[in-house]
Structure 1
Amino acid sequence: MRYLLGSRFRGVFLGGLVGEALAQSSQLKHPIGGDFAQSVVPGATSLIKLGKFDIDDWLEIYQQKFTHLEPSKIIFATIPISVFFHENPVKLHQNLLRLLKNWDSNLEIRDSTLAIGYAIAQSLTEKLHPQTLIPQIIAFIGETNTSLPQNLLKVNNLLERRASLERVQAELDSQGTFSNEIALAFYYFLSTLEDFPLAVLRSIRHDEIWQKHSDNLYFPNTSVITGLLSGVYNSNTSIPVNWRVSLTRQLSQISQVLELADALATTWSGVYEPGLNSQEFAHEESLMSNENIPPCVYAAPRVIRAR
């Protein structure tokens, strides 16, 4: 195994959070107000508390927390499901669709969520191959009337031709649709597959350019999606220490999401951690202490179970 699974769990949450925080600090015209952490924490907490996906519990906690779920919040809220069911594509597909159906999301959100969820699962199972990922995602989405499969195919072709960034942006920015933004995030991720900092910085530059020419707040933040995709593939060890240290001063959520990722990993694996289900996710621990102290877990024989 190239990276520890727990390190990849951390990577998806910390990558999204870092991508969002860097975008906020880059003097964007319309900065995003912490949607990522607010969206992923309730669902992940439910999975940890119950040890399974309970649709009624999810609907209740999200209805209490949000009066309205914007497209980006819906996508981010499904990330814990993609992490928790990464080893079972059938259950991953079923559970994502169950949740999206109850949230009455449109087809573009559905297809975007499935695409991101499948990519996360492939990274966690170490089956992600850049040459085959996009065709596999399109098959995972299935028959659809949205433009996302066509946009992803454009990305695949442009990557094969090693097209310039300007060429990619010209082809995918022309319509300015939701699907275009998702496809661009996949481009930034796949074109710099082994380089988390470069992938995120390029996506942030795109956000800066796009928001200078648009007053529309409907689109998700491309840098968040790029960050979580690259984070789960390269693990949290790929995220520069100086970024994490500097952002610790700004983001109280960093220690929370790292604890959340560790607890979700232990719950997924079936191991027992004393006080896991009753613990309150604290904010006071520093990032560096979180990095140096691995979760303390204990397992009985044959306790790891298939779902």
Structure 2
Amino acid sequence: MRHSPINRFRGTLLGAFLGEIATGDIQSQSSLDLGRMAVLGTESLITLGKLDLDDWIARQQQESLHLAATDDISIKIILATLPVALFCHENPIKLQKNLLNVLKIWEDDPVVRDGTLAVGYAISLALTEKLNSLTLIPQIISFLGQTPTSIPKKLLRVQNLLEQGAGLSRAQAEFAKEEKLSNTIAMAFYCFLSTLEDFRLAVLRATHNGNFKVQDATPFSSQATGAITGALSGAYNGIGSIPVNWQVLLLQRNSPTWGLSSFSQMLELTDALVAVWSGVYDIALNPRELVAQEGCEVALLSVYAAPRVIRSR
């Protein structure tokens, strides 16, 4: 295995965060809301060990995260589903089912649905080490199935650009002239696949507008492209591919991250998600269930398992 699951889980969520703030607007409301939604979903999966829509809704209502139907919110929804993509990555059928289920929390939008499935499936292939840059887009289109949206067409345009060796300027001319969700997703896939082994370069390209004057452009468009690109590249290359100085900068600042108290807490949350996904039992969370009364003394129970009895969920 090229990278461990924990390496890729961390790479995905940290990649999305760093890709989002690469524009320099770390404290924007869009950034905080986007990340908070992903954190709440992660906390729900850790607590319950499964996807529970009622719990997701309750947590968002408690945080007063109300969503309106805009492209900005659509990107937030796609990134809010990243914890589900990670948690169900090893089973494509389960992955598709749970991603479609979690989307029921928000308004049904075919483009959001296809974008969520495209990003989630790419992350799934990366984590299972089945992602091939030459076949990824055809595989995603097959995973989406029959759909009325333009996302398959846009992804095929990305494939053509990659086969032609087209540069960033040409890709921007193709996809950055309009503020459309499908164009943002296509641009993110272009930046990821055109610099497959280089997280830093992929993110910098995704957040660089060059000399293009995008009509009605907003800062969030660069944040969104950077966040999706960062999640994809982080899943494929792992946390080790993220520049050390980028990580150190966040640790030194120790500033609130996506509604958490610090960047370190974000890593701890990711590690807890990996533990729950893998079936590791956290004694600290359920101490009473693993203790035995011996007179006046309390001793931890010893739990043993025969070799090779641990199976995939």
Q: Would you say same fold, with TM above 0.5?
A: yes
- Once the two structures are overlaid, the 10-residue window that deviates more, 194-203 or 220-229, is 220-229
Q: Look up the equivalent residue of 1:176 and give its one-letter code.
A: E
Instruction: Give yes or no for the alignment of 1:269 onto 2:278.
Output: yes
Aligned to 1:282: none
Whether the 8 Å CA contact 2:75–2:181 is kept in 1: the answer is no
Instruction: Give yes or no for the alignment of 1:57 onto 2:55.
Output: yes
CA separation of 1:228 and 1:209: change in aligned 2, threshold 3 A: farther
1:73-92 alignment, distance < 5 Å = 73-92=76-95
CA separation of 1:135 and 1:32: change in aligned 2, threshold 3 A: same
After TM superposition, give the deviation of residue 133 of structure 1 in Å: 0.5
Larger Rg: 2
Instruction: Give the Cα separation in 1 of the matches to 2:181 and 2:248.
Output: 33
- Segments of 5+ residues of structure 2 without an aligned counterpart are 258-262, 288-302
Q: Residue 214 of structure 1: which of 194, 216, 219 is its match?
A: 216
Aligned to 1:178: 181
After TM superposition, give the deviation of residue 102 of structure 1 in Å: 3.4
Instruction: Give the Cα separation in 1 of the matches to 2:12 and 2:54.
Output: 25
Whether the 8 Å CA contact 2:90–2:124 is kept in 1: the answer is yes
Aligned to 1:40: 38
Aligned to 2:96: 93
Secondary structure in 1 aligned to 2:207? helix
CA deviations 1:161-198 (Å, max 9, x no partner) are 11122111112224432100100000000000000000
Q: Residue 255 of structure 2: which of 251, 255, 258 is its match?
A: 251
CA separation of 1:63 and 1:276: change in aligned 2, threshold 3 A: same
Whether the 8 Å CA contact 1:272–1:299 is kept in 2: the answer is no
1:160-171 alignment, distance < 5 Å = 160-171=163-174
**What percent identity do the matched residue pairs reach?**
51
Instruction: Give the Cα separation in 2 of the matches to 1:24 and 1:62.
Output: 26
1:285-300 alignment, distance < 5 Å = 300=305
Secondary structure in 1 aligned to 2:131? coil
Name the Cα RMSD after superposition. Answer: 2.5
Aligned to 2:126: 123
Aligned to 1:71: 74
After TM superposition, give the deviation of residue 12 of structure 1 in Å: 0.5
Whether the 8 Å CA contact 1:71–1:218 is kept in 2: the answer is no
Q: Look up the equivalent residue of 2:268 and give its one-letter code.
A: E
- Segments of 5+ residues of structure 1 without an aligned counterpart are 279-297
Instruction: Give the Cα separation in 2 of the matches to 1:114 and 1:159.
Output: 21
CA deviations 1:248-288 (Å, max 9, x no partner) are 3163322122111111111111112222479xxxxxxxxxx
CA separation of 1:271 and 1:211: change in aligned 2, threshold 3 A: farther
1:237-248 alignment, distance < 5 Å = 237-248=240-251
After TM superposition, give the deviation of residue 303 of structure 1 in Å: 6.4
